[in-house]
Structure 1
Amino acid sequence: MRRTLAALTALTAAGTALAGCGGAKQTVGAAPPGKQNAFEQRADTIVRDWPKVEPVSGHKEALLPLAGADRPGVSARKVTVTVGHGACDARYGAHVRESEKLIVVSGWSRKKDDKKMCTAQLATDKVTLDLKQPLGHRTLVDAATGKPLAGHR
């Protein structure tokens, strides 16, 4: 019993001494940060390099160009964009990333089943996005093209 108590006291003292190592306060999270998806990477690039942004090359399901956007007022907390997607896509929607000067938006889609026949027909649908802050005078940018959406400068 004495040996156990002595060992426990020594371990507690060592742990207390080591806790101060480095002098910096450490925080522990539940999980490591996740890998950014294609939209998040693109939005970071646009926010960092704006206004010198090139369009993305090729077709990416996470970065579909938008067919347009409604023009809300500066106090609006919702933006409606027109997403172009394949007529046979199972799901579609839009991503949004807000910064101090920009609101970066992109369409996305998910295919149903690659094994079935489908036309290459384009469908468009409106998607309404909730903003964390009012639109204000921020520029609404299409992530795929890197350009401001019509009327949003």
Structure 2
Amino acid sequence: MAAAGAVALSGCGSGTQTVGTAPPKQKDPFEQRAEQIVRDWPKVSPVSGRKDTMLPLTGADRPRNTAVRELTVTVGHGACDAKYGVHTHESKDLVVVAGWSKKKNQNGMCTSQLVTDKVEITLKSPLDDRELVDAATGKQLLKG
């Protein structure tokens, strides 16, 4: 953790400046988007373009009941992606999710077909009455 302190400036007027050893850590695009969805819910628009750090989910399996902490979602990713998974962000009223993928180092051709895979996620607390929301599309999953 970076330490910060106050330093008195001399010869440059009077005042105090806070200094630290490292700049504050930037939130990744998913966390920024998840926080925006929590703030603006339910008035959320989809993100524009395809981002490997925030892919739309193609679905979610309905859990047996809302007391569960494990959910299964379906991630769409490229056929040549080396890795894929799901981001989650939990708030009091929402669980925001999005897929992610990382491409392989390509030395040859790769088709641009979509592959879907089921991924199980474990929530910090039970789903209960919280809405499950896709970060990329801004749409509620598990409606009805």
TM-score with structure 1 length normalisation?
0.76
CA deviation after TM superposition for structure 1 residue 121, in Å: 0.7
RMSD: 1.9
Q: Which residues of structure 1 form unaligned runs of 5+?
A: 1-29
Map 1:66-105 to 2 at 5 A: 66-72=57-63, 73-105=65-97
1:36 aligns with 2:50: no
Q: Counterparts of 1:37 and 1:58 in 2: how far apart (Å)? A: 17
Who is 2:7 aligned against? none
Distance change >3 Å, CA 52–CA 117, structure 1 → 2: same
* Percent of pairs with identical residues: 63
1:47 aligns with 2:38: yes
Distance change >3 Å, CA 97–CA 116, structure 1 → 2: same
Q: Specify the code of the residue in structure 1 equivalent to 2:62.
A: R
One of 106, 123, 138 as aligned partner of 1:146: 138
Q: Counterparts of 1:70 and 1:33 in 2: how far apart (Å)? A: 38
Kindly indicate which of the two structures has a greater share of residues assigned to strand.
Answer: 2
One of 56, 66, 88 as aligned partner of 2:47: 56
CA deviation after TM superposition for structure 1 residue 150, in Å: 3.5
SS at match of 1:97: strand
SS at match of 1:40: helix
Q: Which residues of structure 2 form unaligned runs of 5+?
A: 1-20
Q: Figure out how many residues of one structure are paired with residues of the other and give that number.
A: 125
SS at match of 1:93: strand
SS at match of 2:35: helix
Cα deviation, 1:93-116, whole Å, max 9, x if unaligned, reads 000000000000000000002443
Distance change >3 Å, CA 134–CA 150, structure 1 → 2: closer
SS at match of 2:111: coil
Q: Specify the code of the residue in structure 1 equivalent to 2:34.
A: A
1:134 aligns with 2:119: no
CA deviation after TM superposition for structure 1 residue 32, in Å: 5.8
- Bigger Cα Rg: 1
Q: Counterparts of 2:73 and 2:101 in 1: how far apart (Å)? A: 14
Q: Specify the code of the residue in structure 1 equivalent to 2:129.
A: H
Who is 1:22 aligned against? none
Q: Specify the code of the residue in structure 2 equivalent to 1:53.
A: V
CA deviation after TM superposition for structure 1 residue 57, in Å: 0.1
